[in-house]
């Protein structure tokens, strides 16, 4: 269905949402908040969801919510840093139905000034956010190029441009952006697009639990053009658009979902 709509400009003009039926979406880093909202968005469009995160037990509430709404979801524990697990996860998704969208949403934000950042911390953050993104992107690319269609969408961060006290995180997310842009240039000829989402401050439970939440939110709202902090649904909506046929001529881009705060 997707390829037919891509080729038919009349249908493209009529269609307003992502196509559905007989296709899977892999969400690597699903669960609560951003990843969960992404999974629910696609499930509501009729896609079968393959959801993975390190602690698969934490996916149970998401599974119940999607299934209660009539959607289909397959959830499992997934260590995205392990090649064999990524390969098995994405291949199982593709065997169930063609893998048309792969969303990579993993990262660890560990704040340390550069002089206090150890090699161990840097490697851990890099492996989670960038190396695992490479593994996921490579396997998704293999599957998608064979069918001449696909959408690879990575969730980076506004921090890819650099943040004080976040050298490890900023470097890892900048790596995600560079990886995405390179993949886009390689795979466009095969009908596969690759784009990154760069969220600004997004309200999650873990953020709200911080003792400094009020100060963080106040600073973000002051610097944002849109005077509020972001919600997980803001990110999920952007991901859904990049997966749609209407985004078929967009690749290698970084979409900032940051309320107008870029630097």
Report the catalytic residues.
169
CA distance 135 to 140: 9
Q: What is the DSSP letter of 29?
A: T
Q: How far are the Cα atoms of 151, 153, 236, 245 from residue 240, in angstroms, in the given order?
A: 10, 10, 6, 10
Ordered DSSP codes for 89-123: HHHHHHHHS-EEEEEE-------B-GGG--HHHHH
Count other Cβ atoms within 10 Å, centred on residue 95. Answer: 11
Q: Using CA atoms in the order 216, 58, 103, 110, what is the torsion angle rounded to 10 degrees?
A: 40
């Amino acid at each position: 269905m997707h390829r037919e709509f891509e080729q038919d400009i009349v249908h493209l003009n009529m269609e307003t949402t992502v196509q559905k039926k007989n296709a899977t979406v892999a969400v690597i880093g699903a669960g609560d908040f951003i990843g969960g909202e992404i999974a629910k968005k696609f499930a509501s469009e009729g896609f079968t969801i393959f959801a993975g995160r390190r602690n698969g037990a934490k996916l149970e509430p998401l599974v119940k919510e999607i299934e209660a709404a009539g959607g289909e979801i397959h959830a499992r524990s997934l260590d995205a840093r392990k090649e064999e697990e990524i390969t098995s996860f994405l291949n199982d998704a593709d065997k169930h139905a063609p893998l048309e969208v792969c969303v990579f949403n993993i990262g660890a934000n560990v704040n340390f000034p550069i002089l206090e950042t150890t090699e161990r911390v840097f490697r851990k953050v890099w492996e989670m956010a960038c190396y695992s993104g490479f593994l996921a992107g490579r396997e998704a690319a293999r599957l998608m190029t064979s069918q001449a269609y696909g959408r690879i969408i990575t969730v980076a961060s506004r921090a890819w441009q650099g943040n004080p006290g976040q050298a490890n995180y900023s470097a890892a997310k900048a790596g995600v952006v560079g990886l995405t842009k390179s993949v886009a240039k390689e795979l466009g000829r095969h009908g596969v697009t690759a784009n990154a989402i760069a969220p600004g401050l997004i309200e999650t439970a873990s953020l709200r639990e911080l003792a400094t939440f009020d100060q963080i939110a106040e600073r973000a709202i002051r610097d944002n053009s849109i005077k509020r902090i972001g919600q997980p649904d803001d990110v999920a909506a952007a991901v859904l658009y990049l997966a749609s046929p209407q985004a078929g001529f967009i690749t290698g881009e970084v979409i900032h979902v940051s309320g107008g705060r870029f630097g």
